[in-house]
Amino acid sequence: MQPYMAQRKKLMTDTKYVVVITTHNRKQLLQECVDHVQHQTIPPDNIIIVNNASTDGTEHYLKTLREQDKTTIDIINLSENTGGAGGFAVGIEHAAGTLATWVLVIDDDAIIAPDYMEQIFAAAQQNLTHQAFAGAVTVNGEIDTCHRRNLTGIGLLSKNCKEEAYTQPCFVCDIASFCGMVIDLSLVRQIGLPHAEYFIWYDDTEYSLRIHRYSRFLVVPQAVLYHKITWIEKKHPRRYDWKEYYAVRNRLLMVQEHGTILDRAVNFANLFIHVIFRNWLFAVIKRDGYDWAYERKLVRKALCDVHKMRKKNTVLEKIPEEPKREGTANAYFK
């Protein structure tokens, strides 16, 4: 066996890993998430929990948890909510400073099966060239294919991996969400940390593009993660709310960083067709309470902030406050 492959084989048999969890005001979900991490058939060396300035008693729970297990549990309490992107950046940076070989990245609404990491490590030992892995994400007992995707060509556009792929022992993909992503920490030290300034959305996609320079993701369907997303995200998947500001802004930033001129042109055209024109049309026909003026303001601010962030590291203003409309989805985002 060549020296490189011998080194990789030794690495793949090393099951030292650390788990990074970010949380914000979801104490009950976090408790269930942590409980499943602690009961892995291959237990983690460290569990790093980044508390994004929660106000629901999470800090007290984490203090108690730390007192019960000072060896494994590490708590990072942030003074302000930095979003999932900021939390993962802090947590992964902390993980890179440990003696572990791998890092598992999950949100507080991710419930991993007891053998999640056992299945990942079994696949890793049979696939020595991969440095990034992911399991199958399920919602209400069904596979949620949007978490594992493949690039389709120009524009850095991607499509979900087909559900049939999950019938295989393993398959590869280009992009994975932070919902159950497992990364070789030596690769993390090469590519750096997630972009904290993204706050939410596209932080994992951008990070996947950096990972993709060195390794595709190996998806292990037998490693199962139960995703307890809120009903409102599924019920109103096309409603335009404040989160869409980050979707528009961050996708443009990502393509600026990783794409070609053609990619940027395709991405802008896609933005116009699927965001600007679509929402204008829905507003004209008064579909489902769409507020075109607010949506236009969000898109305009996203475009302006992309220009600012591209020129220099600018402290951005808050996004426009969404008008309160009784009986609409935005009432749930407080």
pTM check: above 0.85: yes
What was the pLDDT predicted at 50? Answer: 99
pLDDT at 326: 36
Return per-residue pLDDT of the chain as tens, 334 residues. Answer: 555 556 556 556 689 999 999 999 999 999 999 999 999 999 999 999 999 999 999 999 999 999 999 999 999 999 999 999 999 999 999 999 999 999 999 999 999 999 999 999 999 999 999 999 999 999 999 999 999 999 998 889 999 999 999 999 999 999 999 999 999 999 999 999 999 999 999 999 999 999 999 999 999 999 999 999 854 444 444 455 678 899 999 999 999 999 999 999 998 888 877 766 766 666 666 555 556 677 778 888 888 898 888 765 544 444 444 334 333 323 222 2
Q: Sketch the domain layout of the chain as residue ranges.
A: 3-229, 235-332
CATH code for the part of the protein at 3-229: 3.90.550.60
Predicted confidence at residue 321, as pLDDT, reads: 45
- Of 197, 63, 41, 57, the C-alpha closest to 49 is 63
- List C-alpha distances in Å: 33 to 19, 30, 180, 271: 11, 5, 12, 35
CA 142, distance to chain mean position in Å, is 19
pLDDT at 159: 97
